[in-house]
Amino acid sequence: METLRIGAVRIDNVVEMDIAFEPEWLLHQAGAADVVANYEALGPRLVDRDTGQLKLVVQSYLLRTPQRTILIDTCTGNRRQRPSVPFFHMLETSYIERLRATVAPEEVDMVVCSHLHVDHVGWNVRQDGAGFVPTFPNATYVFNEAEYCWWRDVHARGAGTPQAKASFLECVEPLVRAGRAQLVPSDHVLERGPDLEIRLEELPGHTLHQVGVHIRSGGRHAFFTADAVHHAIQFAHPGWRSRPDTDPGLGEATVRRLIATYADSDTIILTGHSPAPTACRLVRAGAAARLVWAA
């Protein structure tokens, strides 16, 4: 993504890795033939026409205001034992080097995790000898309190998957216990000033308490929608829900609300996993929407 400016806020993305999925794996209701049928609307940035695979990225968003530097979501992390999820297992990526091309980890004031899945919290910490330390030593880590409590209770009951529990115990819980995390309500304002507001909004379904991030400044509006959709095809087909969704019906309702609110508007949509050029707008298409690149 080229640098996006929303008034006084500069937005960049930091890609950890490119990834592609068979549609049958990612989406409950769609197969390769369904994806190919949507190829003309999606194009080669989003779909591999030869294989029918859906193209995604794992990425962070970096927000820089006149007052602070905010990192949204921290991807997967290197050398993490995630054997039941092979595409996240024992990675060796250049994520930190890519981040350093824009800012040093020490310059990050705030880390916001939209939800607590393995590919959104991994670089919260880094390995240091036999243990883990915060990757961003000067940052406050912000978690939606309801999201944190839900996952804490899931793992206490032994109801979570092994990789989800490992990720939570490595990348989330130690920060809370050490007093490095701030547990906030789902409408929390991250920053507010003259002609500037950055705040959260709950976008339930993928997880029950996932949050997005509104960025408003200079008369412009961008909205990071986290994993409300994993792929742009879901704006055209809101009922095609992602396999990792906690509540698919609630997830569909959230996407339909996003379409009703932001289709045919000037709002820039930043999704959790869209590849370059990433920033897009929604254009109404019947009861759904199609994505058009904003740049």
Question: Could you tell me the CA-to-CA distances from 38 to 9, 19, 264 in Å, in that order?
Answer: 34, 19, 20
Question: Could you tell me the CA-to-CA distances from 84 to 42, 87, 179, 180, 184 in Å, in that order?
Answer: 31, 9, 31, 29, 31
Q: What's the one-letter identity of residue 294? A: A
Give the closest residue to 244 by CA, choosing from 269, 210, 270, 212.
210
Q: List pLDDT tens digits, range 235-247.
A: 999 999 999 999 9
The band of 74, judged by pLDDT with boundaries at 50, 70 and 90, is very high
Q: Is the pTM of this model over 0.95?
A: yes
pLDDT at residue 295 in the model: 64
**96 alpha carbon, distance to own chain's centre:** 17
Q: List pLDDT tens digits, range 92-120.
A: 999 999 999 999 999 999 999 999 999 99
Question: Could you tell me the CA-to-CA distances from 235 to 109, 153, 201, 251, 280 in Å, in that order?
Answer: 33, 32, 19, 12, 12
Q: What is the DSSP secondary structure assignment for residue 90, as one 8-state letter?
A: T
| Half-sphere exposure (Cβ direction) of 42: Cα atoms closer than 13 Å | 26
Q: List pLDDT tens digits, range 169-209.
A: 999 999 999 999 999 999 999 999 999 999 999 999 999 99
The band of 31, judged by pLDDT with boundaries at 50, 70 and 90, is confident
pLDDT at residue 86 in the model: 93
What CATH code is carried by the domain that includes residue 102? 3.60.15.10
Number of domains in the chain: 1
Range of 199's domain? 4-293
- Mean pLDDT across 209-217: 99
Q: What's the one-letter identity of residue 162? A: P
